[in-house]
Each structure stands twice: as C-alpha cells, then as structure tokens.
Amino acid sequence: MRLLKVATCNLNQWAMDFDCNLKNIKESIVEAKEVGAVIRLGPELEITGYGCEDHFLELDTINHAWECLKDILLGDWTDGILCSFGMPVIKGSERYNCQVLCLNRKIIMIRPKMWLANDGNYRELRWFTAWKQKDQLVDFQLPYEISKALQQKSVPFGYGFIQFLDTAVAAEVCEELFTPSPPHAELALNGVEVFMNASGSHHQLRKLDVRLRAFIGATHTRGGVYVYSNHQGCDGGRLYYDGCASVVVNGDLVAQGSQFSLRDVEVVVAQIDLEAFDFNFNLHFHRDTNFVAV
C-alpha cells in the first residue's frame, strides 16, 4: 500500500486581520502535523482574508501577506509537510490570486489562478488578472526581504504540478473547477493523483450540492484524490462562507467538515491508499505539462 494522509481546513479568517489569520493558519498546521498529515491545504486568499475588496489594490496588503508567509517559513511549520497558502502576489505590474506551495521552509511553486470568479457576489477581475500562460512555468523573483530571509532567489510561477517520488500533486483554485475545461482533466492525464482546491465559497441554497457533485465528478472517471478547503464564517464583508472542507477519493466522499460551525479552526483529515486507484492511471496518455520535481 502507498498510504497518504491529507489535511484540509475550514478557517474563520477576517479581511486584513493578518495577526488573527496567521494564528489560525499556524494552528491548522499544528493539528495537521499531530495526526501525521503530509499535505495541508488552506482556503483561497487565507492570509489576507477573501473579502478585502479594494484593499487588494494597496501595496501594503501584498507586503503584509509576504511578511506572514516569511514568518511561517522561518519557523518549523512546513517541516515535513507540503502546505498550500492562499495570498495575492504581484508579478510585473499585475496582481494575481495565488496558491503558494511550500515545503521544508522553502517555496516550491506559486500557482496563479487562471479563471476568476466575476459573477453574482464575486468581482475578482476588479482586483486580479487571470493567468493565461499554460505552455510554460516562468521564474518569479522573490521580494528582496523574502529572498534574503529564505536564501532563495526565485521560484517557478504558473500552471503546473509537483512531482514527488511516489505521486504528483497539483492545485486547482476555486472557480477553475466549474469551467468548461477544468485543469484537473488535463492534469489527471499527466499522472497527477492529488488535487488541491482552495476556495472562498459563500453559502447559498443548494450550492453545497453543486460543489459535491463537481468534486465527485472530477474523480469518478479519472480516479484520484480531490481535497477541498474553504473559509467559514463572515470575514467582515456581506457574505457568509459555509466551510464544508472535503476529501473525495475515486468519486466517493470520505471526509467532510461542518457547514455552520463557530470554531475558528477546523481540520479535516483523511488517509488514502494511492494504490486503490492506480488502475485508472495506467491508461493515461502523457502530455507535455509543466511540473516541478521534488
């Protein structure tokens, strides 16, 4: 057996409350480590809070997010566990909604969101740019203070996945799951077995059913593990985020968090046997997709 233990979170984050948000993130990592998880997934834009609105346009918001990430990476929080953190990142003159994948006190990869939520209550196009380069990973030069502290000058930035010795892991950010051609479809054809979806999804009648059907559909025919994380509570805006962090394996829901909990931190853990869906990947045709080897 190839056993993998994953942890996903419902976090009650607050817009622009960096101290509180950082405390919740650290607590979730501690809980994940205590049960032996080797992957920890947090919600979309968890460091800043999802509902910062026009504060995303302020340079201080991005700088404070980097400071929080530096605080995490200078400690032992990411030792032995792959952590995905949500935060805004500026590359060139554009702001991107990103998942920053970290392991052993280093940034392994930055994955910008490719499809932005821009309907209903969502206005992501007002603050962020969608990443459109699917053909290559580019070098991202880390901010000077971060580079100096981590002894790391640059990291891969873009659409791709991380290849470990025994499996491959990729991020799929919130809205991307619901697009006509979601990234997980192509990534699965390249041997990715573990998909991490960091989300900022508010409560709406029957919306949870839509999410669950999407998670189940993503792994029912292709196999694999779909790990979903979400905010929980009200972050200071007009929306209520309803949690329900979940783990789906081969189309079956194996773990799910609460929907309306008052807890600031809720960690959902599942142990998976990767060999249980190996047969699904033996037939896959390998395409040229960007990856980072670890």
Closest-CA residue to 86 (of 44, 52, 51): 44
Cα dihedral angle (158, 163, 169, 171), rounded to 10 degrees? 0
Per-residue pLDDT at 152: 96
147 located within any domain: yes
- Give the total number of structural domains in the chain: 1
24 located within any domain: yes
φ, ψ of residue 123 to 5 degrees: the values are: -135, 50
281 located within any domain: no
Q: Which positions ≥6 away from 232 have C-beta within 8 Å?
A: 10, 11, 12, 241, 242, 243, 257, 258, 261, 263, 266
| CATH code assigned at 40 | 3.60.110.10
284 located within any domain: no
Strands (E), the chain: 3-11, 39-41, 82-91, 94-103, 106-112, 138-141, 154-157, 161-163, 168-171, 194-198, 225-233, 241-242, 246-249, 252-256, 265-273, 291-293
Report the percent of the chain where pLDDT is more than 70. Answer: 94
8 Å CB contact between 247 and 255: yes
Residue 179 is which amino acid? T
Q: Which residues form the domain of 228? A: 3-273
Largest CA distance in the chain: 49
287 located within any domain: no
Per-residue pLDDT at 221: 84
Q: Which two tokens stand for residue 218?
A: 């993503």
CA distance 160 to 138: 11
Given 3-state DSSP classes, what are the helix, strand and coil percentages for the chain, each rounded to the nearest 5? 30, 30, 40
8 Å CB contact between 7 and 41: yes
189 located within any domain: yes
282 located within any domain: no
Per-residue pLDDT of the chain (294 residues; tens, 9 = 90+): 789 999 999 999 999 999 999 999 999 999 999 999 999 999 999 999 999 999 999 999 999 999 999 999 999 999 999 999 999 999 999 999 999 999 999 999 999 999 999 998 999 999 999 999 988 899 999 999 999 999 999 999 999 999 999 899 999 999 999 999 999 999 999 999 999 999 999 999 999 999 999 999 999 988 899 999 999 999 988 899 999 999 999 999 999 999 999 999 999 999 999 887 654 443 333 344 566 655
Strands 246-249 and 291-293: unpaired
290 located within any domain: no
